Structure 1
């Protein structure tokens, strides 16, 4: 059946070519159409409405490998592997143009998919519009030779693995991309077929809006010129990113020179663009920084504020900041140096700057540590920065940046940036720029401060020179006066114009000496002072001080200060006389005596020199009784007698009533005799007004040995005096090195005892006391022990008297009481000694001069020990003042404290106080019981004491029991208690603890 066939035009009509015969019948087809249809090129007729294959020529049957019937039963999507929607779009596109070229992936009967070039166009067959498509197997062309096949394979591999996307775009409108390499999915996130769109769709769908118009215009211009294409624009990838693409393409022409397609390459240049942007940004940063630096460096002091304002404007405009504030910290004051704010911002920057640092402690703390404060969002602030949040909210700020200005690690200012219009994430580059700029501002502020300080220094210096009471002179290298301050008129008696141009030395009474000192004698290591008299006023003394600055190119001379010291010299002479002379007696003072004695010791003489140190006995009592005027009269009289002594080289009143005399004699014996005679001469009756007073002198003598100085000699005499005084010597004590060493040792021991009390070197040992009748342990006596870290154990007989004479006894007693009570309480809490008591010795000094009852009560309160379990032991010497003793003993008894008389029978043993004083018992001295086991006299004495104690209802404890026979004798006599080495030796707390845990009661230590 014949139908009219027309080749379609762009308008849908064209010349009639022939009639189409259905498959298998070609009798009515014009020869030209038949020739085309029956040619060797595969051809298909396709219905664009549904994609059905209407007909296929024999070459197409051979081409695909299916039979004619099977092939004509297909729709085109059975062959074309593109998505159906894409196929429909291509069919519709092909009907709009007379000729369209595609490259499609087609499936063949053997299952292969091959690239097929499809050249198609619309034809009218009757009332139908079909697409007449001619097919070319591109793969077949590539595979015409093995070499070509290899090259093609390599090219395909290269294209697919390039870090870029290769594409082929039609040269004619609508410029559809007919091929896109598979790398598109890997690099751009789109499948290759998704990018095979026309140009308009490409720019609309994939190119960023900001680049779309200019890039499309450039493509159209390139179409007109035919030049190679090179564009860089932003591209939206399949995963939503925006990347920079470089689009490069060249025009491909066919054999006749007609444009056929564009072959292009899409390369991701995002990293390059970012690098370019970063470099441009850094360059801009550097330009801004360089501009700020150059302006600050070259700015004068007068221009500083204007330059700072201009640089803030440059920085703020460049970074698009709302507010910029430069603050300077001067002590506790905050100074607003400059400010800048963007146009349209109404916030008071002055308010922002003034309040920022003082009202924000968290901000100030970070700045002082040299840390910038970055606040991109108020919500990002932690709880510790509520002050910053409140501050920013109050001022309507949304972001804040504060960079410290540091100088030598100290905060001297702050560069503050704030955003009001929006939040801002301050980038690292911005922070770096702010840090560098802040360093420039800090350096400029420091420079300005230095300039101001220098100017102020010059002003002060000028004012000092003009107002100084000392005259300032500048001499040239020849000693000629080149400058003189106004004070020269007062100090030197010459006006400045009378001095300038004249040699200074020539104006003095000793020109050669002054010239030598000024021109040659000034040295850095010397005081560089000289006292001179000027010829026109020789009675006045002027002190010149100088520094040689001839090497200083700015001064090139000698700078002198001149001071009138005439009155000072007179005052010094007067002070010297007063310092070396005692004003009351006219004798030398200690200072004057040492000075004279030092000179005597350096004088060569065959005589021996001795130093006598002496004082008046009971002078303080005389002074109190007779008045200080009488005391002064006695001292003057003593001084007068000393002056009359033969052989006295020098005499001094050292202090109060103490005198020193330097004597000389041929030998030591004579010196001692002279000293005794002097003491005798000074002792006697003195007239005080109408009365006479007897005064007695005692002293210490030190014979001066070779090689010692005056201070040592006098100290030895004073030591001899003190040693004799302590020993009770009535008149003269001569220095003895042994006694001196003992004194030194005593001082060291006193120091060590103080340290022992402070550092816990002392210990307490406890000695058992038993009931004689039963042998049971009844109490413990606390005995202090000292183990010196260097000297080892030191006897209580040594350090306890030392404590009494040095005032340490009270501290020692308090410590022993506290430790003993604590220890007994600890044993009681452990259930070891529920009824055991403890006894502590008190020195007479403590008992008579310390409020012992109050002390004991306080310690019992602290430790919790029951009063009945504490016993105090006192020697008989503590009872010498019955009134004081009775009062304190009664207070102790009221507290429930027992008091024993220790060492009874060894001292005063006055029986009267036993009846009068409330004591609880006696402790018989060890000397009375030592021979009790074999001496009838000792037995009689102890029996008498026991009878006396029984009559007074006092307990008796015997000390020093060292044998069983002694203990037996005491038991026979009826003694109550005993202690001693036989009963138990003093032991440390751990040993007593062990004893108590064993429960030993009979002779506690005999089992050991």
Structure 2
């Protein structure tokens, strides 16, 4: 590796010493110049062939052929200068002309494979535009003097070399402007810049020669041509010093300023035309026509620039919010250097708002969020909308020691602004709520990696406590990896018999008798052990597995309860099963539930489906489904009442049979008067509307006594029994022993 780096450095030193010597002694300039070109071409051939082993073999092999033709040209002209011969001269001239065509082909071979369809047409148009503008300058400097100078057969040499240099410089310039010039240390990028420099330097050589001078006597021209040849050779050597990495060019999006260069070239071409007309004292003849043509060209060019700007803005801006879109965000992230931070913002419960109030209100909330973000960040930062309800903030130039604190402060400001400024829709005030993930770069690293960490942090914020923010820490990666594994395992858990059902008794608070059971899914994995519902149910909710799991629980529980009912000498047990929001809105959910009831023999009147308030926000879709269940005799209860989108509208307009008081209120019964007041309000509301009430999470006799005073008739909790397998709760069900039945 050290040798691979040392050889290019040694070559640069040798060439530099030679140039210094030629400047010190003009008599040595021509010999040193010729020897330098011969040495560089010879090394260029060998290293180009070696570079072809590691990447872009076609490009490097054609380059090696071009360098060989350059070497042939130098040798032929050197021999001709010592022993003038028409044969040697023509051999050198033809080698040079072929060299330009070969190097141009090498440059194009690095690009043609990457262009598709319309891209090739656009590339050809850019090529023609740049060529036309450059042709004006080359014509004035080289071609016109060559046509006017009687040079005999040398006319072919001057015209051919002028056109060859023009073609090579224009092709390479266009390639570089299309994005090949970003990674300046890449071998082929260096090669392209070397070819470009060679063409420009040779145009200077031709101009000096046509105007009667000796370019080899010009220190600047000699230095330019030698440096260009050196750069091409070092480019081939770079394939070794780059740890034998891919020697091909890595393409990227062209810089924004490059899009304007063709138009600048057109403007300069018009200016040159006017200047030449004045210099040649032909203004009276051609001035008016040229000025009019130039004015029209510049006017069209300006109109195209405006269209280009509008098109670029449209392609990088979200039309609804005016923030950057995903393309604009990616363009902004390309300039992320040093310490920067990314905030990934995902709106919480946006879909229920959209469904309840309509898409116009949803759009109004999104624009409100965008305005809030725009007012929270600096003008140098980026705020972008990258999904339906997902936003990103990029904070640039953060202080190294306090980068995370700065980014976290922005997250807090965003949440505070959301909480302080709702939007008003009629009589309703709607607040934006969000979960925010925060991540900062550790230095010069890929922005995609930082964005991924912000996504993990956002996911953690949403999973643990919505309406908050989380900063990334490495344990989140471990958690996300674990969840990915569990998501794969969950798909096979039912088939493998790992997913069981536990039952928690629902007790009549007055008599202590068990009047029902709630069926709850439990997962016992052979490797991970017992997995609580709080870990695997959210995974199932985010996938299509929740319905299959729900139907499995219903089928097993319905069969078990029917077996218990066959042995019971009191009133039949009531089975309660949770129905997720995704299940409720499934088009064939009623058919699936009926099929389970028919298969197990459980009466619809003995089944209670527990749904959350979030599941019935979309009342237009939920109401007819609940009505079909009611018509069958299935009971409907709202689970965790008071913790979601509570509204009397649901209780009055939907077929609801019962309310379950959330454990959070029950826990506060014997600790705060406010908790008791909320629980009492729910019980009284149920009594007024004729709804049953069941208290969850009962843990003490004092809570039972308080609930009885409030009028609550039923409850469940660890005071009576935790969720347990079927065999372990049979003693609490008042069953007749199997041998005495019948």
Of Structure 1 and Structure 2, the greater helix share is in 2
* Higher relative contact order (Cα pairs below 8 Å, separated by 6+ residues): 2
TM-score (norm 2): 0.46
TM-score (norm 1): 0.35
Of Structure 1 and Structure 2, the greater strand share is in 1
